[in-house]
Every structure is written in C-alpha cells, then in structure tokens.
Amino acid sequence: MAKHDLDPSDLAELARRKRASLGQLLLRSARLLDERAVARIARRGAPGVRRAHTALMPYIDLEGTRLTDLAERARVTKQAVGQLVEELEAMGVVERTPDPDDRRAKRVRFTPQGLKALLHGLGVLMDLEEELTRKLGEKQMASLKKGLAALLAALEEKEEPEVPPEGG
C-alpha cells in the first residue's frame, strides 16, 4: 500500500469525518475569522500584528495579568508568552507594571495605545460579524450565537470523572 497503510475508502471516510467534526468546524471558523481580522488590521496601519498576538489579548485582564497566569490561560509555555509580551511591548500595546499583590511579580496590562488598538480590533470583528450576518441572515446568525453560547456554557461545566464499569 501507499504511504498511509489505509485503503482509499478508509482515507475518504477519515477526510469526511474530519470535515464534519464539530471541533474542526469551530477551529477552522475561528482561524479564518482571526486571519481576516488580522489582515484588515494590517491594511489599516498595524502591519506587525500577528495571529499569535491576537490569540493572547483576550487573556489579558484590563487591570493586568501575571505572565504565569497568561501562559496558563493561553495554554502555552511561559517562554512563548514572554516572547509575545516582548513583541507587544515593543509595539507599545502592553507594558509590565508591578503587581500590587506581590512586589516581586509583574503584571502585563494594556497601555493607553493598546486599549485604543483593542477597541479598533473589536470594531474590525464587529464589521466582520455584520458582513457574516448579511451572508447568513439575521435568524441564522442569532441561532448560531445562541447555540455557541449554550455550547460554551456546557463545556465550561466541570466534567464528571469517568467511572470505570463494574467488574472491569
């Protein structure tokens, strides 16, 4: 057999299941929405912004967030977050300030320029949402948002530990 050790019908089934997977649909939609937003932001005067930056921003609290908490929230290493924060600092988007709860620690927070950039980015996302609403229709978009909110609430619930079957 070829390089996969699966026959063509198995590969076709795998591709079909992958395309139909809720996780794949959500990930691809989020990636494409983010790519469009970043491209628009770059065209409007912020060419240095990358998807890695926009992926970190939702985890930065307005009062500031410790680097270790950012890494945990974003589910990446402290080193990766540190690099992104350095890049955002160089762009004037964030700054590191003393943590009022622990003088040895620092918090990452948005600068005034960063808050303006955040508002601008949210405006770009709103524009994209309006365009998508025109394509999908108001009813479908409202249904989609309602469904995603319910899905998010269900996923945020604490998962019950699996109980092994008796006698196993």
The helix or strand, by DSSP H or E, that contains position 104, with its residue range, turns out to be strand 102-110
- List the domain boundaries for the chain: 19-148
Amino acid at 134: R
Q: Calculate ∠ Cα 73-33-139, nearest 5°.
A: 110
Q: 19-148: which CATH architecture?
A: Orthogonal Bundle (1.10)
Give the pTM. Answer: 0.76
Alpha helical stretches, state H, 21-58 = 22-43, 51-56
Per-residue pLDDT of the chain (168 residues; tens, 9 = 90+): 456 677 888 888 888 888 889 999 999 999 999 999 999 988 887 778 888 998 899 999 999 999 999 999 999 999 999 999 999 999 999 999 999 888 888 999 999 999 998 898 999 999 999 999 999 999 999 999 999 999 999 999 987 777 777 765
Q: Which amino acid is it at 141?
A: M
